[in-house]
Structure 1
Amino acid sequence: MTEVMPKGSNAQLPADVAAVRVVLRWQLLPGTPDVDVSALLLTAQGRVREDADFVFYNQPRHPSGLVRHRAKARRPGEASDTLDVDLDRLPGWVDRVVLGASVGDGQDFAAVGGLQLLLFDIAGGPGAAALTRFDLFDVRGCAALLCGELYRRSGVWKFRAIGHGYPSGLGGLAQDFGVTVEEDEEEAPVQPLLPQTGPTGPTALSAPTGPVSAGGPVSPAPQVEQLLPEPDGFRLPPQGPQFLRA
Structure 2
Amino acid sequence: MVAASAHWIAATRARESRREDALFVDVFAADLAGDLGFTMMARSEDATGQENSYIPVRVRWFDDAVLAAMSGRLDQVVLLGAGLDTRPFRLDVPHRLRWFEVDRAEVLARKQQILGETPSRCDRRVVAADLRDDWIAPLNAAGFDPSLPTAWIAEGLFFYLGEVGVHSLLGQVAGMSAAGSRLLADIMGAAGLNGPAMQPYRDHCASHGLPPPFGSDDPAGMLDAAGWQLETIVVPGAPGANYGRLPPVPTGPIAGATHLVVANMP
**TM bracket (short chain):** under 0.3
Which of the pair is proportionally richer in strand?
Answer: 1
TM-score by length of 1: 0.26
TM-score by length of 2: 0.25
Greater RCO (CA < 8 Å, at least 6 residues apart): 1
Which of the pair is proportionally richer in helix?
Answer: 2
